[in-house]
Each structure stands twice: as structure tokens, then as C-alpha cells.
Amino acid sequence: MDPIRNPYAPGAGQRPPELAGRDEQLAAFDVVLERIARGRPERSLVLTGLRGVGKTVLLNALRSAAVRKRWGTGKLEARPDQRLRRPLSSALHQAVRELGHPQADDVDHVLGVIRAFAQREAGAGAKLADRWNPGIDAPAVKGRADSGDIEIDLVELLTDLGGLAADVGKGVAVFLDEMQDLGPDDVSALCAACHEISQSGLPVIVVGAGLPHLPAVLSASKSYSERLFRYQRIDRLVRDAADRALAAPAKEEDAEFEPAALEAMYAATGGYPYFIQAYGKAVWDLAPASPITAADVTVAAPEAEAELAVGFFGSRFERATPGEREYLRAMADSAVAIAECGAEPLDDIQSVPTADVATVLGKRPQSLSPARDALLKKGLIYSGERGRIAFTVPHFGRYLREHG
Ligand SMILES: Nc1ncnc2c1ncn2[C@@H]1O[C@H](COP(=O)(O)OP(=O)(O)OP(=O)(O)O)[C@@H](O)[C@H]1O
Ligand SMILES: [Mg+2]
């Protein structure tokens, strides 16, 4: 069918033509925004899930919801080797701009505090000219959010910002993607700041998103984090939602899927949003006409798989060193061994014991720690429970068995 009218959107953070199966999260967030706006206690929200399940897209949708309520919003993405100060300063600068300009003096004060916070990064010895500034004209405020202790500074910064938002009867929401990549000091400071803010009833919320082990990262940092954040697991779509993700955009273009085609699509994609978009795109281009049939899906499958092998799996596999790749393959083989014992069907196995991986490789578990730690750091695997390890990328085991 006409590729120009192809509605599907595979790609990191690409807004899907139909945001299917997330109504519950969107509705819950509206309640959170209303409660915070009224000074009611609310926990900050943290979305967790595997690669490609739609965390970034949902985070953006939640941000839009906050913007519609005229909140000030900002977004940032954590990176493993970057500190929080600068990207957070930019995000909060954006949030203040979105709040509008009620009382210029108050706004200038908060902007000055953000600037002071940002500039503390350069260190006390840095020359003035080196000091980075997120484009703020107001002069830096002295003695606020500039102690150099990220925890103290963050509390002061969010308190002042929350005060401004409360004065103008709005709220501020900060969206933090790839939150598992924050450094330990920044995680701990952010938890402490959220704790403080929630006690003071100021209208500020942090909404995070990250890989499935993010709750473990947060609770290792502060034991009270479980009470501080509300975790929402973002998962693959149930059949109904997956069908809608495909059928609704098609309908907009006056096309449709036969029921057997939708069934074949679900079998192939497992309901994972990224796969739904990738298969949707391939089948649309290759199908001769509407309605799209199960046979069209069969024809398009190799195309979709090839696309995923390069863009989704391959790009990640390439980030691993030869030793790490061996470890990844051994994880995939361990799952097969478990399935062969009849314990669980292969597709249901989400994690494997690290001891099994060592057995497959015929090595001592300790000798494998460097490879495992490097893979954890690269975000290719995660450990949800002690002694077990899992891929962060859905269907990665299958990919490795077929291509690795
Ligand atoms: N609810 C949904 N319905 C249909 N398609 C979706 C949905 N959510 C996400 N997608 C699609 O899935 C793909 C992946 O989405 P996104 O980048 O948000 O995932 P992610 O969880 O942030 O992945 P990563 O962990 O790699 O950052 C995109 O192509 C997006 O359009
Ligand atoms: Mg993402």
C-alpha cells in the first residue's frame, strides 16, 4: 500500500499514531496533578519497563497532560557519565518559562537560584567565564542552591521553585527519562528533595522513567524511596490494545486488518509496542491492498525482522565487547536449558540465574563479574532479584539464538 500514507512509527521516543493501552496511567496522572494542585500529599511517579515498551512516549504524553493544565514542565534524560545539575537546570528553566511571567521580581529570583545551582557545577576554583549558564539573564542569587552539596542545593532549588508555582496557583512537573543512569549522589539527592517537597505540600512533582531495576536503584539509595515513589510497570500491550494500536491508524487511512492478520501480528510482536510499530510499518508497505491479510503478515515478517535485527537488536549488541557478547549468548542458552528441563516455556522465561550462565560458559561465577557489570552499566541487562539476570531488550534471547 502507499508508503507515503504509512502511519506507523517505529523509533525511540517516536509518538505512535495511536497511544494504545495507557488510559489507566493517563487517568491516574490526571488525579495526581489535581491532588498536587490542591496541596494534597502525592507520591512522585516512576514508570519502569523494558526497552521499547513505550516509557518515553508515555512520559511525553504525561508531560502534555501537565501542559494542558498550564503547569510549568521540563524534561531531561539522565546519562551514565553526566551529573544532574546542568540538564536539570535547563529543564527547570524551561518549566519557569512555561509558568508564565506573573511577578517579574519573583520569577527573576527563582531564575537566579537556578543559575546559581547550575554554576556551582564548575567548582569553586573555576573562572567566571567558564561558568555554564542555561541561558538565564537574571543574575545568580548568592547563598541559595549553591553550597556544592547537591542534596542541600536541590532541596533549596525545588522549594523556591515550588513556592513560585504555588503563588501563581499552578504546579511544576519535571520529567526524568533513563533515570537508572543517574549517579549515586544525584539519586540520593533527588530522593531527599522529593521527600522534603512532599512534606511541605508544594506543587512540584518529579516523574521518572527507567529500566525495570530502577526501584532497586532508588531503594538502595534511600530506604524510604518505596513510600516516596509510586511505581508503574509499563508492559507489553494486551491483545485488545495491540489490535487498536494497529487498526486505529489504519482506519484513519481508510484501511483495515482482517481478524486473522491481527492475530498473526500479535503472535509475532508479543504485544511489544516497538515491534508493533516495526511490523505495522513493514506489512503496510508490502501488502498489495486493504484489508491486510494473515498472508501479508507472513510475507512482511522477514522484512520487519531484518529491520529490527539492525535497528533494535544489532545496534545494542554492537555496544558489547566480545567477552560481553559471550556472556549474553550464554544467558540466551541458559534460558533454553531451563526450558528443556520442562520448567517453563522458553518465551515465558524472563530471567536466568547468574550461576547457570557461569555453568554454560564453564567458568567460575566471580571471573564473569567484570563482563556482567559492564553489561549492567551499558543497560543491556538488569538484575531484578539477587542472583538473577535478565535482558532489558525484549526478545533479545531469541535474536541472539538466531543471529548471535
Ligand atoms: N502505547 C503505545 N501504543 C502503540 N505504540 C507505542 C505505544 N507506546 C510506544 N509505542 C511505540 O513503541 C516504540 C518505542 O517507544 P519508546 O521509545 O517510548 O519506548 P521506551 O520504553 O522509551 O524504550 P527505551 O527503553 O529503549 O528508551 C515507538 O516506536 C512508539 O511509537
Ligand atoms: Mg525511552
Q: Cα dihedral sign for 113, 114, 120, 126? A: negative
| Distance, CA of 130 to CA of 121 (rounded, Å) | 10
Which of 302, 252, 241 has its CA nearest to residue 276?
241
- For the whole model, what pTM was predicted? 0.94
If you measure from the C-alpha of residue 76 to the centroid of ligand 2, how many angstroms do you get, rounded to a whole number?
A: 11
The ligand 1 atom at the shortest distance from the C-alpha of residue 277 is 29
For residue range 21-80, list pLDDT tens digits in order.
999 999 999 999 999 988 888 888 999 999 999 999 999 999 999 999 999 999 999 998
Cell, residue 164? 513560585
Is the beta carbon of 54 within 6 A of some atom in ligand 1? yes
- What are φ and ψ of residue 52, in 5° steps? 75, 10
pLDDT at 128 exceeding the cut of 80 = no
State in Å: Cα 15 to ligand 2 middle. 11
Read off the pLDDT of each residue in 235-262 and give the average, rounded to a whole number: 98
Q: What cell does 282 get? A: 513493514
Ligand 1 pocket, 66 CB below 6 A? Answer: no
Q: Is the CB of 394 inside a 6 Å radius of any atom of ligand 1?
A: no
- Strands of the sheet containing 44-48, edge to edge, are 72-77, 172-177, 204-210, 44-48, 229-233
Segment 195-242, tens digit of pLDDT: 998 889 999 999 999 999 999 999 999 888 888 899 999 999 999 999
CA angle 139, 145, 150 (to 5 degrees): 135
